[in-house]
Amino acid sequence: MNKRCRNAALLLGLAVLPSARAADLTEVFQLAYANDPTYAAAQADNRATRELRPQAFAQLLPRVDLTADTARHDDHRSSDQPPAFRGEPKDNYNRRGYNLSLLQPVFRLDRWITLSQAKSQIASSDADLEAAFQDLIVRTAEAYFDVLRAEDQVVFAKTTRKAFKQQLNQAEQRFEVGLIAITDVEEAKAGFDIAHTRVIEADNALATSKEELRTITGEYIERLKTMGDQMPLVRPDPDDIAQWTETALTQNRSVAAARYATETSQKEIRRVRAAGHLPTLDLRAQHDYRTQNRSTTFGSRNKTHDNIVGLEFSLPLFQGGGVLSRTREARENYQQTLDALEAERRRAQADARSNFLNVVDSISRVQSLRQQMISTQKAQEAIEAGFQVGTRTSVNVLDAQAATNESVRDFKDARYGYALSALRLKQAAGTLSPEDVAKVNEWLVEE
């Protein structure tokens, strides 16, 4: 696990949800960090990649092999010669032995290049793991605020249904005393039925958003803290889109992973050439032991010991054009990684710029919607007062209530958007950390 992820584990502590109060973003992220299968798969992939270095280093160390064998040999012979000239009628013996060999590479440039490749592959995997960690932060925050959005929509839908229910009751009462026609009642009932359908849809959307959160955390969370009224609206620091773009090009973790991948591919070209054209030199030491016990008339036992030490030289001369083909393949793979690197750079640049603009735009949007919410609330109060004195109708009151509810919902949604844009901006720049989760968490309160 890289340093940043270790710091995250220390910062977050144990993934334990409160039992009596609403969970906040930090507590939800604790569960996600411990239980998210996508991030767990990234960790396993990183651990597997780290084994490439000891595997490559092992190819440079001595190799020791031991083989042993034993066999029983039975040889029965018959002859039509006189007995005096037949010799031994059988030749039976046991044969045993072992061979101990040591092979030490002396010059194998391709294996040294493989070791260098392992280092860049591990560096690329570490960058991918950090990118997965930052992605986990953003995915958790998105799922968290999606639940809050869905809850706001349920409140909006139920409030609207309540208003239509009041209008329907009023219409029925006025119809009973003959003040309106039955068509007005039917229109009010149709509006109520539509509002009731919206409540059902909102409840279903809320259940779906909670399921999405559960796929990350592994647990159902009944209550979440919501955004408080004292959320600060701060422009990005530094307040310069060019600096954020430059930071993204140098520190974005996906860009870093792609950069290390190009290094690995470039080294692969050298490795293929070295393996196909350069000579190899190995030191070999070998000890061979054999024993043989014969069960003839006179009997015999033979033992042999062979000790061999020498150098083995190998020079590839011609492989049917395979080396040239593999070299061309390695070059094309290197070009592919260069193109992938450029794609990641452009994506990081676009994400940094778009999220910077989103943060700035979200500030203006939140401020505007806050004023709109205040205005609609005041307008609703005025219309309700006019309805009491007979200058406004129930339809006017209903419309004012709907406008107020919509402005409240949009205001909350804009604040969620601001928080997510701030996190995505740092993700694009490659600087997103658990400290940013803790900062957003300070804006949450228990409703």
Residue 390: Cβ within 10 Å count = 7
Instruction: Name the pTM for this structure.
Output: 0.87
Residue whose C-alpha is closest to residue 210's, from 144, 140, 136: 144
In this prediction, residue 230 carries a pLDDT of 81
CA dist., res. 390 & res. 184, Å (int): 19
Query: In 3-state terms, what secondary structure has residue 73?
Result: strand
Residue whose C-alpha is closest to residue 150's, from 219, 218, 215, 226: 226
In this prediction, residue 333 carries a pLDDT of 96
In this prediction, residue 10 carries a pLDDT of 47
- What is the chain's pLDDT, residue by residue, as a tens digit (447 residues)? 455 555 555 455 555 555 568 999 999 999 999 999 999 999 999 999 999 999 999 999 999 999 999 988 776 655 555 655 555 555 677 889 999 999 999 999 999 999 999 999 999 999 999 999 999 999 999 999 999 999 999 999 998 898 888 888 888 888 888 877 888 888 889 988 999 999 999 999 999 999 999 999 999 998 999 998 888 999 999 999 999 999 999 999 999 999 999 999 999 999 999 999 999 999 999 999 999 876 555 556 788 999 999 999 999 998 889 999 999 999 999 999 999 999 999 999 999 999 999 999 999 999 999 999 999 999 989 988 887 887 887 778 888 888 898 899 999 999 999 999 999 999 999 999 999 999 999 999 987
Tokens at 94, concatenated: 């046991």
CA dist., res. 138 & res. 154, Å (int): 24
CB 433 within 8 A of CB 4: yes
- Residue positions counted in the chain: 447
User: Which strand ranges, in their side-by-side order, compose the sheet holding 300-314?
Assistant: 63-73, 93-107, 280-294, 300-314
**Would you kindly state where each structural domain of the chain is located, as residue ranges?**
3-60+108-279+315-445, 61-74+87-107+280-314
CA dist., res. 376 & res. 407, Å (int): 7
Say if residue 232 is preceded by a cis peptide, omega within 30 of 0: no
CA dist., res. 308 & res. 328, Å (int): 41
Tokens at 135, concatenated: 């992605």
Q: Decide yes or no: CATH 3.40.50.1980 for domain 61-74+87-107+280-314.
A: no
The highest-level CATH class for domain 3-60+108-279+315-445 is mainly alpha
Q: Beta-strand (E) ranges in 267-389?
A: 280-294, 300-314
CB 53 within 8 A of CB 122: yes
In this prediction, residue 447 carries a pLDDT of 76
The values of phi and psi at residue 217, to 5°, are: -90, -25
CA dist., res. 47 & res. 45, Å (int): 5
61-74+87-107+280-314 shares the fold of 3-60+108-279+315-445: no
CA dist., res. 314 & res. 274, Å (int): 13
Tokens at 182, concatenated: 């039955």
